[in-house]
Amino acid sequence: MKLCYLNILWTPDPGVLNKLSHQTRALRNALGRDDTADCLIVVRQEVANTVKKSPSLILFPISAPGSSSVQEALLPFLVWSKLKNRLSGYDAVVTRWTVPSPTFLNVVRRQTVFTEHHSKELEEIALHRGLKPFARRILEKKYGPRILRAAHGIIGVTDEIRRYELNRAGCKQPSMVLPNGISLEGIPFKPPSVFNGKSLQLAFVSSQFAPWHGLDRLLEGLRVWQGNSPRLTLHLIGRLTHAQEATIQRMGFAEMVCIHGVLYGSDLDEVLSGCHLAIGSLALHRKVLKEACALKVREYTARGLPFVISHDDPDLPAGLPWVLKIPADESPVEIDTLVNFAEGVSKLPSLAKEMRAFAEARLSWRVKMKRLARFVRDNI
């Protein structure tokens, strides 16, 4: 079997590319001796030179005529004709869901294609306003169900998303749940600092703080918190908008909130190793999601850093001692609850090692790609 893992990323995110690199290496190891797999990354021609090269990824730059806005409108329709010859040499294509179009539909009807989904598309589009989301919604409604019905299989990162896509298809299709994974080789293991009851260090990591991450819930919780002990510091690692930074200043959190910006490698390791708890997504209900499988939660687990979330995760059964689940609503985060959680996990000296072992057995791409390879092989 010759497999193509296709990702159309007009503006590639370094974190996503790193994930795909790890994922592809694990997929190649999971395939049989006579099987091969390529990870094909489609990008806009003008950003191709900014993408860091990786031996695990094949870059496929494409361009369109006209201004940037015209190109943005044309590319989703032109990409498939430009990919036609490239994809014809594969026995199966697994593609991350992209803008539905008649040309996308033609490819799915012509080839063995499996679609991979990371969100409830229509619900996510509804969070945005403007011409682009309006046009995308029309395309999703007209072509999305037809593409799903023509696909050889549907892959959802959660069971909630898998069921959503099957409902959109309107028929029974082969399907599977494949939550996000991680490559533990690139994640150092250093047990976090022990909470001494005096100073609580919280880490909140995101490439950018979108509404569904719920930073506002945490800030509001800090605002209404009546406690003066322990001394609390929130480390924000990622891009904040000017409005978010202004809100932090307006609320008087200049000393309590430390804005680091985007951190990688040893700089990120240094900050996280000094923290007691990490914060995951706190408002996925705004995307009409009850389940998610965020990469940062998997990385926290591999690092041995307990964390807080407000959603279910298909890889994390209820009752894990390192997971604090708070209500999925608009209420402020109760800071006393976080303090009590930090006190509880500090009394479990072997917890970090248990978390690392769990990540190796349940969260690694090595484990997950074996399941994907089996699913594709069984349905081509």
Summarize pLDDT for 257-281 with one digit per residue, the tens: 999 999 988 999 999 999 999 999 9
Same-domain status, 47 and 138 = yes
Q: How far is CA 182 from CA 15, 155, 190, 219, 246, in A?
A: 12, 18, 17, 29, 34
Spatial separation of the C-alpha atoms in residues 174 and 148, rounded to whole Å: 11
**Does residue 132 register a pLDDT over 90?**
no
Average pLDDT value for residue range 56-73: 83
Which pLDDT does position 254 carry in this prediction?
A: 87
228-268 per-position pLDDT tens digit: 789 999 999 999 999 999 999 999 998 899 999 999 889 99
295-324 per-position pLDDT tens digit: 999 999 999 999 999 999 999 999 999 999
What is the DSSP pairing of strand 2-8 with strand 36-44?
parallel
Q: Where are the beta strands (DSSP E) in the chain?
A: 2-8, 36-44, 57-62, 92-96, 113-117, 153-156, 175-177, 199-208, 231-239, 257-261, 277-279, 307-309, 323-325
Same-domain status, 165 and 191 = no
Same-domain status, 261 and 190 = yes
Spatial separation of the C-alpha atoms in residues 47 and 56, rounded to whole Å: 19
Same-domain status, 371 and 349 = no
202, β-bridge pairs = 234, 277
Same-domain status, 156 and 194 = no
Same-domain status, 313 and 229 = yes
- Give CA 98 to chain center in angstroms: 15
Same-domain status, 241 and 177 = no
Structural domain harbouring 298: 184-363
Same-domain status, 50 and 139 = yes
343-354 per-position pLDDT tens digit: 999 999 999 999
Q: 253 in helix, strand or coil?
A: coil
Same-domain status, 156 and 283 = no
Same-domain status, 239 and 251 = yes
Same-domain status, 177 and 195 = no
With beta carbons less than 8 A apart as the criterion, state whether 97 and 121 touch: yes
CATH code at position 292? 3.40.50.2000
Overall pTM > 0.75: yes
Same-domain status, 244 and 273 = yes
Residues in the chain: 380
Q: How many structural domains are present in the chain?
A: 2
**Please, which contacts does 45-52 make with residues 24 or more away whose CB atoms are closer than 8 Å?**
47/10, 47/11, 47/12, 51/12, 51/17, 52/14, 52/17
